[in-house]
Structure 1
Amino acid sequence: MAEFSFFQLIPEAALMDPLSIKSEIKDERDLGESDKIDSVDVASTFDVNECGRKAKQSRTIDVTIFSPDTTSSSSRMTSNNENSNKSVDYTDCYMRLQNGKNSNNEQSELEVLLTKGGDGKIIKRSYKTNGGFLPDTVRTILVHLIVKHEMDKALSTLSDDGEEKLEEFTITSNQMQNYANDIVKIFPSEKTDTYFGGFKTLNGVRILAHGKLWDHYNYMKSVLRDQGVLEGRKFKKKKPERTAVVDGETRKKLDWLLNNSLPWSDVLKNWKETFEARTEGHSELAMKQLFEYYQTFPCLREQQAVDLIQSDFDQLYKKKPFNFTESWNILKPHLISKLQACKTIKTLDDKAYVHLLPSLTSEQQDGVILFLLPYLVPCGRRKRRNDDQEETRKMTSSERRDTFIIYISSAADVDSTLKKKSEDLKRTGRTLHPTPVGVGSVMGVKAAYVVVNDIKYEVSSLLNAIDLSYKIYYAAHCDFPESCHSLWLFMQKAMFDIHYPTDRATPSLHALVGEARRVIDSKSST
């Protein structure tokens, strides 16, 4: 097989037609700015009469007359004469040319979309005028343009009488990933994860789909449903929950726990032996709200109930032994660095806390970091539009902080403050979920508690209060309060390394959790 090196088309060169079929060479102007041979010029399909039968052949240019160096015309003609008697295989040249300029010139759907209308011009112009970067407002225009394009394609199938509905409006994960990849090709400074990151499992951690394209796509689906253009969601029928079968002996132990809280050795024994009946679908117990659950078992009102909560957590949490304080101390320097670089801290008092962090004791640092944590953890959740206006606005960092940890200056005011807090929540139909309480100042917590409604557990430190509060949420299958949901979700994912597909975390929270886990895991493994 003849070997050919890469070549360029010389306009003045004579072309040889080995099949004796008259061919035309495009005018040099048709080649545009590039002088490379276009595969369309080299091979086109046509029919020839071969032995009375139609057969498809390729019109091929004999490239042996071209040379990458500057040789004389006589030497080229000599080469031509020598090669005319040989059977030349043009496959190599044909395949290389087929993968050449023409395939690279095919525009993606996004490139075509950006050439139509004013939005594409705004986006391209903004990219140039901002030094090769897209401002966030322009990213929004780009995302809206893509989703609207796909929505228009879906809506084009409906009649104009307004009677029909879309059964579904779908932009697949592959489509979104392709759009994200095309954005990066057109605007190299962008990142694909900004626009779309598909569902994946990374080191055993499930990461849900996220990104600007994903968020706006889901928002527009809700708009179409609200306007009656898109059919409502189709929920799969939930399989009936299986109720755990409780044998006679277990029933006796449960009945005993319902009526006794002493002696404690019997409480602990019966509590452990009834674990499955209390947690695995027993209709009388597992489906109760947290408040009802705590009212059901009098033993949970005792200070020693901390051991019962720890027992349930240990049986539910199947991972390696875990120490909250150790993981926190590993992560603490990283959180301090993040706070020192945080630009959203505006108040003078909070700035002063950040300034003092390096000079504080370890326990004082714990109090300050927990106090300032709402600045680092994005809120990411808002009430639905049809709720009261007061609830729909985004909560400030100080408001989220007040629902995450309750600070009480004096020990004498603990009971009265907690009672007032519980009554305020009760008036709005809510209860006081597991909440850490610090007595003293931010830099000097003298006592710490965990409160659940009117029950109060004393613990040794504010960190232990965070630890115990989360274990109550986890063991009792209790949802986090809406007002500080993202803070507890950060604790769950970053500190306890517990992840669920249903976790509603923003891309920013995913990024912060990823940083935290890298820091903790790198130090824990050494």
Structure 2
Amino acid sequence: MEKFGESPTSETKKALAAALIHGFPSLKDESDSSSGFGYWFTPGRNRRPATGFLEERLRNVRKRMRKPARSQSTQQTPPQSSEAGTRRTFIPECTISEERAIQCKEWLKHNSQPLNQVEQYMQDTAVYRAKSLRENGWDIQGIRQEFPHLFTPGMIAQDFQILHGEAAPKLFETWLPLFKDKILHLARREGKLISSLDGLTPDCLGELALSQLPTLLPPTVYRVGRKVFRYTIEESKLAFIDHKPVGTNLVEYLHEAKVSRPYPYVLSLGNDIWHTSQAFVILDGEALEQNTLLQAVDVCFKVFYIFDIDYTKQCEAVWKFLQNAVYEIKGGEESKPATSLRAAILACK
């Protein structure tokens, strides 16, 4: 950097990468038949940023160099924290070096086999990934580009388990035995649930209880500048769990969702809201299939933490209730309806 500055040209970085593998042939990228230094530096194309170990190293050095200036500016002007910022939790220390984490990250960008190695590298880089996401603030498309295997089944849950171990199994452990019946009782008491529940299995009742949360936790008023907004309960339902009949054309549905619904949510396919045939987490227009609706809600909740993004405004009260009451993760301001619902649940016998 002393010679070429903070942001050397692409040609300079190519020359550095070429010189590196020329001096150390064992570091050559055998999968790159054109230059041999793909792992070390690959120029950006089609609006995509450059990648490689050298590029990552330069980015990290630039961040360290600019931190003092950032801290001075934040002392002068208090930061306007996002909702995600107010509920952020402690990230543990990484168990591998930054250089090793970058190597694993680059390997994961270009490989999907063997699966056991993918899983191991994802596990090893979970803390590094969490810190990178928090520092860079990428949107979902940017995250997909940087960490494509987060979209691989099981990886979101694995990252959450590493970062928030005690909270990870809470929904599965508590929803059916502790929350299901009380939620349904309160929904019926308030006239939100009028259908007969006779003959429904515990799993079906658990799914029905989840679908009742938006009716018990109506969206609160919020401001953007001078404008005041308040979503309807129906909008909250759709942003939490969108229920569609079996046979829905998923290709068309996902195409529309990618354009109009940029936030994570759950899609349930079934002939009625009591029986879910298929459940998905919809993320950036992609359907991540889950075994049950409960698992889909669990993974969707964890997406907000792993991707370090704000809860969806339409159903923010629902996610905050799950965060505080079910997962028992502290942080962020709970809405008054959520506080009231928690009190009502505690009062139920």
Q: Structure 2 length normalisation: TM-score?
A: 0.66
CA distance in 1, matches of 2:238, 2:185: 23
CA distance in 2, matches of 1:422, 1:273: 31
Q: CA contact under 8 A between 1:404 and 1:435: conserved in structure 2? A: yes
Deviations 1:95-122 (CA, angstroms, capped at 9, x unpaired): xxxxxxxxxxxxxxxxxxxxxxxxxxxx
- 1:433-472 correspondence to structure 2 within 5 Å: 433-440=263-270, 441-472=272-303
Q: CA contact under 8 A between 1:246 and 1:277: conserved in structure 2? A: no
Instruction: Compute the displacement of 1:445 (Å).
Output: 1.4
CA distance in 2, matches of 1:237, 1:487: 26
Q: CA contact under 8 A between 1:259 and 1:297: conserved in structure 2? A: no
| Partner residue in 2 for 1:268 | 119
Match of 2:233 among 372, 390, 397: 397
Instruction: Compute the displacement of 1:469 (Å).
Output: 0.6
| Partner residue in 2 for 1:45 | none
Match of 1:307 among 154, 162, 165: 154
- 1:151-162 correspondence to structure 2 within 5 Å: none
Give secondary structure in 2 for the equivalent of 1:437.
strand
CA distance in 2, matches of 1:247, 1:398: 46
Match of 1:364 among 197, 204, 209: 204
Q: Which runs of 5+ in 2 are unaligned?
A: 1-75, 81-93
Q: Which amino acid is the alignment partner of residue 296 of structure 1?
A: E
Instruction: Compute the displacement of 1:446 (Å).
Output: 0.9
Instruction: Compute the displacement of 1:450 (Å).
Output: 1.0
**Compared CA separation, residues 468 and 516, structure 1 to 2 (3 A):** farther
**Larger relative contact order, structure 1 or 2 (CA cutoff 8 Å, min sep 6):** 2
RMSD value over aligned CA atoms? Answer: 2.9
Instruction: Compute the displacement of 1:250 (Å).
Output: 2.6
**Compared CA separation, residues 237 and 406, structure 1 to 2 (3 A):** closer
Q: Which runs of 5+ in 1 are unaligned?
A: 1-233, 239-243, 346-350, 426-430
CA distance in 1, matches of 2:323, 2:346: 11
CA distance in 2, matches of 1:287, 1:320: 24
Q: CA contact under 8 A between 2:170 and 2:326: conserved in structure 1? A: no
CA distance in 1, matches of 2:168, 2:312: 27
Q: Which amino acid is the alignment partner of residue 373 of structure 1?
A: L
Instruction: Compute the displacement of 1:393 (Å).
Output: 4.6
**Compared CA separation, residues 282 and 337, structure 1 to 2 (3 A):** closer
| Partner residue in 1 for 2:29 | none
| Partner residue in 2 for 1:513 | 342
CA distance in 2, matches of 1:371, 1:298: 30
Q: CA contact under 8 A between 1:357 and 1:368: conserved in structure 2? A: no
Q: CA contact under 8 A between 1:260 and 1:298: conserved in structure 2? A: no
Q: Which amino acid is the alignment partner of residue 144 of structure 2?
A: Y
| Partner residue in 1 for 2:179 | 331
- 1:106-505 correspondence to structure 2 within 5 Å: 235-236=77-78, 247-281=98-132, 286-301=136-151, 305-319=152-166, 322-329=169-176, 330-343=178-191, 345=192, 351-353=193-195, 356-384=196-224, 386-387=226-227, 392-425=228-261, 431=262, 433-440=263-270, 441-500=272-331, 503-505=332-334
Q: Which amino acid is the alignment partner of residue 401 of structure 1?
A: K
**Compared CA separation, residues 250 and 359, structure 1 to 2 (3 A):** closer
Give secondary structure in 2 for the equivalent of 1:456.
strand
Give the structure with higher Rg (CA).
Answer: 1
**Compared CA separation, residues 237 and 394, structure 1 to 2 (3 A):** closer
CA distance in 2, matches of 1:514, 1:286: 38
- 1:51-70 correspondence to structure 2 within 5 Å: none
**Compared CA separation, residues 265 and 419, structure 1 to 2 (3 A):** same
Instruction: Compute the displacement of 1:490 (Å).
Output: 1.1
| Percent identical | 20
Deviations 1:351-395 (CA, angstroms, capped at 9, x unpaired): 533xx13553323323332232222113223343644xxxx4532
Instruction: Compute the displacement of 1:235 (Å).
Output: 4.2
Instruction: Compute the displacement of 1:281 (Å).
Output: 4.6
Q: CA contact under 8 A between 2:221 and 2:229: conserved in structure 1? A: no
CA distance in 2, matches of 1:282, 1:365: 37
**Compared CA separation, residues 260 and 514, structure 1 to 2 (3 A):** farther
Q: CA contact under 8 A between 1:492 and 1:499: conserved in structure 2? A: yes
Instruction: Compute the displacement of 1:460 (Å).
Output: 1.4
Instruction: Compute the displacement of 1:321 (Å).
Output: 6.5
Instruction: Compute the displacement of 1:270 (Å).
Output: 1.1
Q: CA contact under 8 A between 1:336 and 1:357: conserved in structure 2? A: no
Q: CA contact under 8 A between 2:167 and 2:327: conserved in structure 1? A: no
Instruction: Compute the displacement of 1:286 (Å).
Output: 4.6
Q: Which amino acid is the alignment partner of residue 369 of structure 1?
A: A
CA distance in 1, matches of 2:307, 2:347: 29
CA distance in 2, matches of 1:235, 1:438: 45
CA distance in 1, matches of 2:149, 2:127: 18
Instruction: Compute the displacement of 1:323 (Å).
Output: 4.0
CA distance in 2, matches of 1:498, 1:490: 10
Q: Which amino acid is the alignment partner of residue 267 of structure 2?
A: V
Give secondary structure in 2 for the equivalent of 1:486.
helix
Q: CA contact under 8 A between 2:183 and 2:212: conserved in structure 1? A: no
**Compared CA separation, residues 328 and 499, structure 1 to 2 (3 A):** same
Q: CA contact under 8 A between 1:449 and 1:459: conserved in structure 2? A: yes
Q: Which amino acid is the alignment partner of residue 384 of structure 1?
A: V
The count of residues paired between Structure 1 and Structure 2 equals 259
CA distance in 2, matches of 1:412, 1:379: 28
